[in-house]
């Protein structure tokens, strides 16, 4: 979420004063982040939508406790992470690499109707890479996604996952090394460069 602290405070105040429509702005600004985290952790497509909705209900119910010590998006990300983990625990799903195959992964990302040649190549690469990230341990994939796809800093990721910054860096380095080794076994650098 790119709003300033002042804008965030205004938005939060609006919601807290009972303006439910103001909550739409918070949902719109953070839905992709929440989906990114929830999708990364939960392998079952059927659970994901419910959990995403549950995340925002928790955000709404606990908004008055938001301390403004971090970005609102970081706070929401932490709720998303904890909610997804709790869901896994309830369902007794082990926190291991996702069992999703490449076909499934491709279906979960958005449909692309206007396909140019370059775009088709990038989508193909995107699918391959997404498949490789799915094969990584879930924590590695989550950190990798937050850093590279959500442009988050080490500190923000550490806040969301309740991990020390050093651990986040360590996991990120390991994740990229694993990904690099796996990809280089399967593809050439030219395949990866568009």
Q: Least separation, in Å, of the C-beta of 158 and another protein?
A: 13
Of the pair 32, 91, the CB lying nearest another protein is at 32
Of the pair 92, 110, the CB lying nearest another protein is at 110
Q: Least separation, in Å, of the C-beta of 148 and another protein?
A: 4
Length of the chain: 194
Of the pair 92, 185, the CB lying nearest another protein is at 185
Q: Least separation, in Å, of the C-beta of 92 and another protein?
A: 25
Of the pair 65, 92, the CB lying nearest another protein is at 65
Task: Using CB under 8 A, list all residues that contact another protein.
Answer: 5-6, 9, 15-18, 20-21, 23-24, 27-28, 31-32, 35-36, 39, 49, 52-53, 56-57, 60-65, 67-69, 108-110, 122-123, 125-126, 129-130, 133, 144-145, 148-150, 154, 169, 172-173, 176-177, 179-180, 183-184, 189, 192-194
Q: For residue 186, what are its two tokens?
A: 């399967």
Q: DSSP letter string over 31-97?
A: HHHHHHHHHHH---HHHHHHHHHHHHHHHHHHGGG--SSS-HHHHHHHHHHHHHHHHHHHHT---SS
- Alpha-carbon distances, residue 64 vs 38, 58, 78 (angstroms): 23, 11, 16
Of the pair 22, 93, the CB lying nearest another protein is at 22
Rounded to whole angstroms, the Cα distance separating 191 from 194 reads 7
In contact, 136 and 175? CB cutoff 8 Å? yes
Q: Least separation, in Å, of the C-beta of 136 and another protein?
A: 12
Q: Least separation, in Å, of the C-beta of 79 and another protein?
A: 13
Q: What share of the chain is helix, strand, coil (3-state, %, to 5)?
A: 75, 0, 25
């Amino acid at each position: 979420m790119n709003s300033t602290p002042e804008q965030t405070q205004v938005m939060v105040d609006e919601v807290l004063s009972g303006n439910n429509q103001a909550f739409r702005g918070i949902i719109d600004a953070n839905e992709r982040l929440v989906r990114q985290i929830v999708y990364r952790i939960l392998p079952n497509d059927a659970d994901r939508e419910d959990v995403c909705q549950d995340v925002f209900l928790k955000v709404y119910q606990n908004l008055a406790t938001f301390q403004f010590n971090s970005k609102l998006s970081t706070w929401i990300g932490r709720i998303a992470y904890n909610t997804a983990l709790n869901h896994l625990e309830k369902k007794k799903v082990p926190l291991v690499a996702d069992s999703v195959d490449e076909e499934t992964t491709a279906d979960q990302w958005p449909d692309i109707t206007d396909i140019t040649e370059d775009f088709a190549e990038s989508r193909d690469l995107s699918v391959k890479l997404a498949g490789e990230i799915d094969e990584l341990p879930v924590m590695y994939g989550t950190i990798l996604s937050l850093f590279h796809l959500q442009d988050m800093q080490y500190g923000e990721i550490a806040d969301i996952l309740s991990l020390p910054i050093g651990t986040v860096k360590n996991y990120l380095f390991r994740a990229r090394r694993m990904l690099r080794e796996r990809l280089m076994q399967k593809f050439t650098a030219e395949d990866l460069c568009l």
